[in-house]
Amino acid sequence: MSLPVPDDFSAAPAEAPARRPAAPGPGHRTRIKVCGLTREADVDAAVDAGADAIGFVFYPASPRHVALPRAQALARRLPPFVTPVGLFVNADDATIAAAVAAIPTLLLQFHGDETPDDCRRPRRPYLRAARMAPGLDLLDFAARHPDAQALLLDTHVAGYGGSGKVFDWSLVPADVPCRVVLSGGLHAANVTDGIVRLRPWAVDVSSGVESAKGIKDAAALRRFCDAVRAADGLLEGPLPPA
């Protein structure tokens, strides 16, 4: 049974998705998801640094892919209120069901060519990745996924993400009517700017805190989380000029 905690990454009922706040207020806190975890030490370091969610990649073609038994063992290390997220790319129903059975609190992330019906069929809370190609109508994309917990905005590249490249943030309209997770090439030196400019509900990092693909760096994790908190401090002050 999922926990109805709509203000963090914990699974909230899919029939009641949260809407994007108009503007951050006092005490605003950007959520942090660290994706592509493969080692116990990295899970622990991410949690210690302040991560709200830990992502496991179930896409076999990814260098950060982790087998389900391994992900299950890693997920057991997570304390309460840190959410495990399973990243899937065009996976079949049986693969998704097996992951949910192994990790009951798993939040799904669809990162491939899944249709809205594909995303709804597991009847689980989910994030939907939007690859930010020029010409993508993000408002239409959001309208087709009204039950998504959030849209995860990633760089449009050949394949399905993981490029470490930043997309053109000007492609994001100001009136996206749902939670936004900013992803794509984030690291400690640019995440503050991304948060101040786009006001996302959450940020998602992978390669920007790695020493090698699938191997996280504890110091980089700490710097990234500190930069997110610094951005939140800026949002509590006057808004920057338009």
Q: In angstroms, what is the C-alpha Rg of the chain?
A: 16
- Give 204's DSSP letter: E
Dist CA 119 CA 14 (whole Å): 10
CA 116, 69, 215, 61: dihedral to nearest 10 degrees? -50
Q: Which two tokens stand for residue 19?
A: 């809407």
Q: What residue ranges in 68-222 does DSSP mark as E strands?
A: 83-88, 107-110, 126-131, 150-154, 180-182, 202-205, 210-212, 215-216
Closest CA to 127 of 46, 223, 230, 204: 204
Point out the residues that are catalytic: 35, 154
How does strand 83-88 pair with strand 215-216? unpaired
Dist CA 27 CA 119 (whole Å): 32
Dist CA 74 CA 69 (whole Å): 9
Closest CA to 29 of 174, 177, 195: 195
Could you give the angle at the alpha carbon of 67 between the alpha carbons of 123 and 147, nearest 5°? 20
